[in-house]
Structure 1
């Protein structure tokens, strides 16, 4: 039997070996024709593997394991997404390879492709002005080398949009408004990809390209990013299509669809243009890729019906989908659609065949992994010299001298003293613009390069003194004898929608700098912008004006032109065009008188004028309040946010100073003011008992204490806006004290208040929005999921579930508050009021409030804790124990009050032995509740927590005692009341414990009266005045009084 088993095993092994030898995989053989390899691989692939190839995910969610599990076909870096800060080329290569190893470990070992934006290596605006296809091709080749140095094989470039309106935020990604120039600039494609060879393969120094954004993205109405291109088919094809014809002829590997619409039809769902024209008529053989979450935006609001979006996108002809995060949802959705015959298998096969064709053409199956051999090319001197040449050729001289007979340029290299000024003179980030290190770009010298200031210093004679002052004042200018000045101003960095700009004016302090300097010295103004901007108001005072566009890292190219060389004569047509555009825009700006910005106009007129100008998006933004943790200058601009808040304990940093708060509030405000209409936002914060979130602020008694004082003055001077807190149970007193803060304005929801309309919360969010808005809520405290709220409310209004009149009513109320506050005239805060934070005057006021809030009911662990005195909503949302902010504990106050010869001994919970061994005249026992807020404060027994009861029992049984109760409400005290000599309800007195001892030691008398009924046991609750079972320990309105006498 054993011999038979051995023989059987040997036969089986022989068969397996023969089968393996017979399994020759054609697709892995580089000698086979490409079509044969693709067909062989396609036959072997499952549906799961095919859909994986169609999926592109973001690198932050990619891993070796994810690549293997989901058969991912492509990974990308979103704007600013890097493996680490200032990552080296080697770090990039290692990351790219790690993902590749995951892809190669799958059953069929299909390599993935890594894509990245190469928006400006150099940027397209310059290429238009260079009008030198040979140089542009060199730039493409240099860009490809630097991209491949990091292991990446695929770039989302070039952008061949025809920018017809410079108000578009992506205009600097476009080569020109002239389709013929854009066609000329497609020469960058063979620069990036290499020339097409007989076998269509390119070597390692090149990348695959992506022409974008198909079709008409540069022609949207009013230059609105992702907007609607309103054109007849003749104009669409004559203006926006020609560059795609040229790109396909030059072998472009992929084409990206546009977020925009053509006459209302979303391009991501436009089968006629994607499949019918691009693939069938133009015979494009590469793959079509979506933009970032592009299919989500097929519906309004985005992602509202994702299965439909997948269906519409795939049937339109998109082959690869830039998901980038919710890839499992996409994979599951597409699988469902194919298995249920909504998407034919032939459509999947067409997409995968196109993707594989690109990968085979790249040689990825033979050379899947990158190495470090090309890292030397990243930022090489040869490439920097090329960039410098591009800068030189891209400069446009718009004005040279006050008259043609007295030109200022070229500037002399030898001078006594030169002034360099302007926000953009010493800022690489500003020179490079958006899509530099971060998606939106950044300020500062964030990468290697030469600023224009450094370039000036290198260009001039060694004996010439160069002085830099970003925004010099008149005194500085008069006190220096400058030969001339170079002023570098322009736009801050931006990308995509954040760059949409309706007025195209130079931001301050640019105009002030030009006015100050050019009014006193001969000046050259260098504009660093991604498009023409309004300069007409300054042209008369400027001696020379140069458009440098976004020159990138090599500022030396600017000074090359300012030295004795002549300007390129090929830009004359461009100069004329730019000046005409700027003249028209300036005239439009001058004619557009905005009533709402005029403080002399009546408030009602200002509101009406502003309301007429606002879009639905801007109105809904005003109704949205978000938490400061998710807010940023960019978010404020993008979503037109109307308000920001600090949740309980949410601060810019631990023990943040007043200056830190002001800086944060102003940073958000700058984002709001940079929007089209510049509507300021309002920052909201809980002031439950003073500015309770801020370290060092005066913490006043909680409302439970203020209610017992029976007076509005002086507390209306506190200017508190109290939301969702209670003064006391008496509606008359609530009305009386609440009158101090009454405001005719808008109704705001509580924190995620509309979520709680359903049970469970957030179960039907669209309904919650509908119910809340129709109920009359004007501003909604969202605070985290603001995009969901904005999308949901937009959907409800557009589909007539909420009338526009309800939105207008809400926004009108919000604007009324903002105009009343003077926010439109004074939107930014300064440091002038910092001195009031925690000032002595306020502490004295708080001390007075404490004195008047004490209730003497009969003639303590909390004695040395400011945190316990203040309760919840103090620095942290739930409050905390200890001396967490600046103030006076009751213990410190006792020591400050008594005679210097009186010995004060503090013991948190003294034992009987300790008490018997000391001869105390009397004791002050301070006990109560720990801090809490909201639901955390719900209590079914209302007992004083230990060791409070033990301390009362031990001390009051042996020594005369005053018990001071620190609590936000009455607690059960009946079990101890007979052993206590005096009992004081101090509520939550805040930071000023001295107010308690002021009354305890007779400097002031007790005057407080209970604003709440004090029960005997919780079994009586609820119990209010007039109830049949009303039998309190101390009735509503009770309070013993004493006369102020100095105690001895």
Structure 2
């Protein structure tokens, strides 16, 4: 192999930035589809298009080379983290937080097998799963990717998932035609960063290894062929650049002989590195750079660094050898064109009845019953049941992040999930069959009085850092108001809570008669119905067996209260879960509903974080003619094309949005609860209410840039002078006095309306309403 070809083997670009011709020319060893990538840029591409693209890359990588060097087939990796979740029509299993609640290693193993089969339908070889982080602070936005806070449980279930995906080590099925390559991630300590994604895990090194690295030996013993380095740091040292951990610990002490792959531009976060220039990562023990966009420049810099001795040839050869070893172990050279493989010849495996039945079983076993006053559950299916709440009929919400798109949710509708079933649909199917009536009412209103109500509510979908939160308080009061209103009418209420983590829901627990932690169940809403309803004869269909794999907080600031902690005092401990039989009618004392975070929320609140609107806020675009269009995803434009929005990287993947104006148009952040203007104008000891915008200006405005608080506000502030001054100066925070945006009286929308009359190019990553030092004038 030539040096150029060897370098190509250690570079992993994203399919959104390369063509099959690029794969042939540069000899890439691996490629990936990121969370927002799909064939031809279409996230909703059907399975046949995924398979056709896999064939195209296979053909390109195996075509004879002009230089006579060997042709080496590439490996395609995907984030199939709860089923083959990037592909429309796939079975979506509960996220790991729910699987942790099952405690069922055999079930997890079978889910791995089913996921491998559905990946194989699309001709892909490799999944970036399982995550075997030990989540210790539930504010972390990836908490739902963890099986739990107990390293022993994470070790057991992580090893089972590896075995399901790859097959049992030593058997004929290991890495055979019915299996794919697994990835143990993220090595290591990602669950210990004090709730901050890509943060720093601090402590005694020996203790950190014992806690956070302990799931890796079982995963490696189960045969995991790849390990992904963590974005995070250990005591200030970035994992992507740590020889002590990637080489000495993982290779030396744990004996790993597969390949170590980086995370999305993770090497670029090492001090002294950029996305396109980082010999330090390879020298530390990284074997494959995940470089979605800057692959061409990285390829050139690595060739130069090998030539000048910065990277010894022996180290490059070692990395390439590890890549090839994994390919040979899975028989990649003999597998043939993706469309010719056994799984690809069975397209019916994608979302098959057998796989959906398995997912439904997983849902049933994952649900945790937290309260059941006066034996309200299970419900009589022959009764009239009102089903309400934001999650009642929303498959995207019940599936969470990493579902079709990276963040999930957004503009996804139930039509994007053929073969799936919402929670309401599952309830309605069983109630109708039994002769009862299920009524869907999103606002909880009704004409015919129901016998009982089911309120399905919870977190909106998110992934990675977008899910980091400052408190575990569930702050959206809409469901709480619904529950209290129904209870005031004498209607019993079952609360079904959708979340990626335990959260402080004392108010909802007090208000509801029964409360079920449903986590993120995925595509099979019928599994939830199975647990809420009696069978057709009036008997118990299934009792609750789910047990908490993460301690449930008693206070909204109790985010790291893990079993074994000296001050361990949760509301519900690790392993807790009621049953319908042994805990019948258990009463619960009234819970403390005080939460300082919620009390402060009317004064300080985050409106946009990491480039994404924070619920209940949403983004809309408005053309010069006044036509508004929603922007549920990360890109879009006005109907007249005067304003275009696209994702950009600031500190992490797609954590900012670029707004490019070419003519009159408006960007709106709306949906906040209306507030009294007078309550937001208090000035105390030199401090006042203000809105902060984190911006970077690439091209100054050619006209006015007006900002106000929404459609009801008449006061405008012209940001053009401040934006012009910020041009070319990198990221900065603009502060706008709220008194300049609000009228003197009346209730107004809590939001932001940004209008540009001419051209302007800027990026926005965060918007906050807060209190700070008083501003001279209106803008600082």
Q: TM class by shorter-chain length?
A: 0.7 to 0.9
Q: Where do 1:803-814 residues align within 5 Å?
A: 813-814=735-736
Deviation at 1:592, TM superposition (A): 4.2
**Is 1:351 aligned to 2:319, yes or no?**
yes
- Which of residues 348, 355, 360 is equivalent to 2:328? 360
Find the partner of 1:98 among 56, 61, 68: 56
2:176 pairs with 1:203: yes
Structure 1 residues 454, 199: closer, same or farther in 2, change over 3 A? Answer: closer
Supply the distance in 2 between the matched residues of 1:95 and 1:386 (Cα, whole angstroms).
29
Match of 1:173 in 2: 145
**Secondary structure at the counterpart of residue 545 of structure 1:** strand
Residue of structure 1 in register with 2:388 after alignment: 421
Change (3 A) 1:542 1:100: same
Q: Residues 823, 263 of structure 1: CA spacing in aligned structure 2 closer, same or farther, 3 A cutoff?
A: farther
Going from structure 1 to structure 2, the CA distance change for 1:688 and 1:190 (only over 3 Å counts) comes to closer
Aligned partner of 2:37 in structure 1 is: 81
Any gaps of 5 or more consecutive residues in structure 2?
84-92, 535-539, 560-590, 613-634, 636-641, 675-688, 761-780
1:268 deviates by 0.6
Tell me how far apart the structure 2 counterparts of residues 678 and 163 of structure 1 sit (CA, whole Å). Answer: 35
Following superposition, the deviation at residue 370 of structure 1 comes to 1.1
Query: 2:388 touches 2:442 (CA, 8 Å); kept in 1?
Result: yes
Q: Which structure 2 residues correspond to residues 872-1021 of structure 1 after superposition, within 5 A?
A: none
Q: Compared with structure 1, are the counterparts of its residues 570 and 319 closer, same or farther at alpha carbon in structure 2 (3 Å cutoff)?
A: same
Q: How do residues 375-524 of structure 1 correspond to structure 2 at under 5 angstroms?
A: 375-401=347-373, 406-415=374-383, 417-442=384-409, 443-445=412-414, 446-448=416-418, 449-462=420-433, 463-472=435-444, 476-477=445-446, 479-504=447-472, 505-520=474-489, 521-524=491-494
- Distance change (3 Å), C-alpha of 1:165 and 1:518: farther
Give 1:298's match in structure 2, choosing from 256, 270, 274.
270
> 2: CA distance between counterparts of 1:240 and 1:132?
21
The answer to whether the 8 Å contact 1:311/1:334 transfers is: yes
1:777-826 C-alpha deviation (Å, 9 max, x unpaired): xxxxxxxxxxxx23xx6xxxxxxxxxxxxxxxx76x53466676689984
Contact 1:648–1:686, Cα closer than 8 Å, also in 2 = no
Q: Against the structure 1 CA distance between its residues 686 and 311, is the aligned structure 2 distance closer, same or farther, given a 3 Å change threshold?
A: closer
Q: Distance in 1 between matches of 2:99 and 2:172?
A: 30
Alignment counterpart, residue 123 of structure 2, candidates 134, 151, 165:
151
1:749 has 2:723 as partner:
yes
Distance 2:651 2:480 in 1: 24
Q: Deviations over 1:356-399 (max 9, x none)?
A: 01000111111131124132210100000000000000000000
Matched residue SS, 1:425: coil
Asked if the contact 2:504–2:553 (Cα under 8 Å) also holds between the matched residues in 1, the reply is: no
3-state SS, counterpart of residue 323 of structure 2 = helix
Answer whether contact 2:192 2:201 (CA < 8 A) is retained: yes
How far has the Cα of 1:440 moved from its partner? 0.3
For structure 1, which segment, 101-110 or 542-551, has the greater mean C-alpha deviation from structure 2 after superposition?
101-110
Distance 1:556 1:232 in 2: 46
What is the rounded CA distance, in whole Å, between the counterparts of 1:273 and 1:633 in structure 2?
31
Structure 2 CA distance for aligned equivalents of residues 149 and 616 of structure 1: 34
Gap change, CA 1:255 and 1:109, over 3 Å in 2: same
CA contact (8 A) 2:276 2:294 kept: no
- TM-score, normalised to structure 2, is 0.75
State the Cα distance separating 1:205 from its structure 2 match.
1.1
For the pair 1:828 / 2:750, whether they are aligned, the reply is: yes
Q: Aligned to 1:61, which of 1, 13, 17?
A: 17
Residue 647 of structure 2 contacts residue 654 of structure 2 at CA under 8 Å; is this kept in 1?
no
Q: Is the 8 A contact 2:496 2:517 kept in 1?
A: yes
CA distance in 2, matches of 1:409, 1:173: 29
Specify which of 189, 196, 220 is matched with residue 216 of structure 1: 189
- Displacement, 1:533? 1.6
- Residues 519 and 541, structure 1, Cα contact 8 Å, conserved in 2: no
- SS of structure 1 residue aligned to 2:13: strand
> Could you give the per-residue CA deviations for residues 504-552 of structure 1, whole angstroms, max 9, x where no partner exists?
3143523322232233310100011111122101222210000110010
**Relative to 1, partners in 2 of residues 1:167 and 1:588: Cα closer, same or farther, differing over 3 Å?**
farther
TM-score by length of 1: 0.57
Tell me which residue corresponds to 1:738. none
Write the distance in 1 (CA, Å) between the matches of 2:291 and 2:52: 24
C-alpha distance in structure 2 between counterparts of 1:557 and 1:347, whole Å: 51
CA drift at 1:632: 7.9
Alignment correspondent of 1:629: 644
DSSP-derived class of the 2:520 partner: coil
In the alignment, is residue 120 of structure 1 matched against residue 120 of structure 2?
no
Structure 1 unaligned segments of length 5 or more: list them: 1-44, 599-605, 619-625, 653-660, 671-676, 698-716, 725-746, 756-764, 770-788, 794-809, 832-836, 838-872, 879-1048
Contact 1:260/1:266 (CA < 8 Å) preserved in 2? Answer: yes
C-alpha separation between the residues in 1 aligned to 2:44 and 2:320? 35
Residue 280 (str. 1) matches residue 257 (str. 2): no
Q: Alignment partner for residue 316 of structure 1, among 284, 287, 290?
A: 284
| Cα separation, 1, equivalents of 2:187 and 2:745 | 42
Contact kept in structure 2, 1:58 and 1:75, CA below 8 Å: yes
In the alignment, does 2:580 pair up with 1:590?
no
User: Which digits, 9 at most, give the CA deviation of each residue in 1:388-417, with x for residues without a partner?
Assistant: 00000000000001xxxx2101111111x2
Q: Judge conservation of contact 1:526–1:545 (CA < 8 Å) in 2.
A: yes
Once residues 195 and 823 of structure 1 are traced to their aligned partners in structure 2, the CA distance between those partners, rounded to angstroms, is 69
Q: Provide the rounded CA distance (Å) in 1 between the counterparts of 2:35 and 2:103.
A: 28
SS of match in other structure, 1:467: strand
Partner of 1:251: 223
Secondary structure of 2:215's match?
helix
**Distance in 1, Cα, partners of 2:146 & 2:746:** 35
Q: Following the alignment from structure 1 to structure 2, what is the Cα–Cα distance between the partners of residues 155 and 682?
A: 35
Contact 2:389 2:457 in 1 (8 A): yes
C-alpha distance in structure 1 between counterparts of 2:543 and 2:595, whole Å: 33
C-alpha separation in 1, matches of 2:746 and 2:241 = 42
Check the 8 A contact 2:121/2:349 in 1, yes or no: yes
Go from structure 1 to structure 2 and tell me whether the alpha carbon gap of 1:588 and 1:321 turns closer, same or farther (over 3 Å shift). farther
Alpha-carbon distance, 1:593 to partner: 7.2
Task: Considering fraction of residues, name the structure with more strand.
Answer: 2
Residues 558-573 of structure 1 aligned to structure 2 (within 5 Å): 558-564=528-534, 565=540, 570-572=545-547
Instruction: Tell me if the contact between 2:148 and 2:549 (Cα under 8 Å) persists in the aligned partners.
Output: no
CA gap of 1:561–1:110, structure 2 versus 1, over 3 A, is same
Q: Deviations over 1:253-280 (max 9, x none)?
A: 1000000011111011111000011011
Q: Secondary structure at the match of 1:187?
A: helix
SS in 1 for 2:670: helix
Structure-2 separation of matches of 1:260 and 1:458: 45
Question: 648, 652, 665: which is aligned to 1:651?
Answer: 665
- Is structure 2 residue 506 aligned with structure 1 residue 536? yes
For the Cα contact (< 8 Å) 1:124–1:173, is it kept in 2?
A: yes
Cα–Cα, structure 1 residues 386 and 722, in superposed 2: closer, same or farther, change >3 Å? closer
Q: Distance in 1 between matches of 2:609 and 2:77?
A: 36
Match of 2:615 in 1: none
Equivalent residue number for residue 236 of structure 1:
208
| Distance in 1 between residues matched to 2:714 and 2:525, nearest whole Å | 54
Task: From 149, 155, 160, give the equivalent of 1:187.
Answer: 160
Structure number with higher relative contact order (C-alpha < 8 Å, ≥ 6 residues apart):
2
Q: Is the 8 A contact 1:536 1:583 kept in 2?
A: no
* 1:728 alignment counterpart: none
SS in 1 for 2:335: coil
